[in-house]
Amino acid sequence: MSWDPVYRLVKKIPRGRVTTYGEVARALRLPGGARAVGYAMAAMPSGRGIPWHRVLGADGRIRLPEPYAAKQRRLLQTEGVALGTTIDMEVYGWSFRKSKTGRTAKRKRAKPH
C-alpha cells in the first residue's frame, strides 16, 4: 500500500498549525483511521519535506517516544506553536474541511497573557 496520499495531505498543513492523526484519516476516508495514519507517518521516508511534526494525538498531545518527541517539540516551537502538557487545538488546530464560504477553517488568535 502506498502512503503517498497521507504525505501529500500532511504537506498542506501550514507552518505554525497542527492537526490530528484522526483528522488526516477523516479527510482521506482512510480505512483504519488514525492508527493507519500513525503507521504511514512511522513509515515516512526522510528527505521529502513532509512536516510530520505537525500531526498530533486527538487530545493535542505528542504521541511519539523520546528522542523523537523532543525533536517534534523543538520543531513546533520554531514555528511559534506554544507548548504545554497539550497543544491548544482551538488556537493552533488545522482542519482540511472547507467552510461554507469555501475557505479552510480560520485560526483563532492566541489570547495575550
Whether the pTM exceeds 0.75: the reply is: yes
Q: Which fold has domain 4-92?
A: Arc Repressor Mutant, subunit A (1.10.10)
Q: Indicate if the pLDDT at residue 106 is higher than 80.
A: no
- Residue 90's pLDDT is 93
Q: What average pLDDT does the segment 102-109 reach?
A: 46
Q: Indicate if the pLDDT at residue 68 is higher than 70.
A: yes
Q: What average pLDDT does the segment 19-45 reach?
A: 94
pLDDT-based confidence at 98, cuts 50/70/90? Answer: low
Q: What average pLDDT does the segment 83-91 reach?
A: 93
- Residue 89's pLDDT is 94
Listed residue (107, 28, 105, 86) closest to 40, CA to CA: 28
Q: What average pLDDT does the segment 76-82 reach?
A: 96
pLDDT-based confidence at 13, cuts 50/70/90? Answer: very high
Residue with cell 523520546: 66
- In the chain, what are the domain boundaries? 4-92
Q: What average pLDDT does the segment 95-112 reach?
A: 53
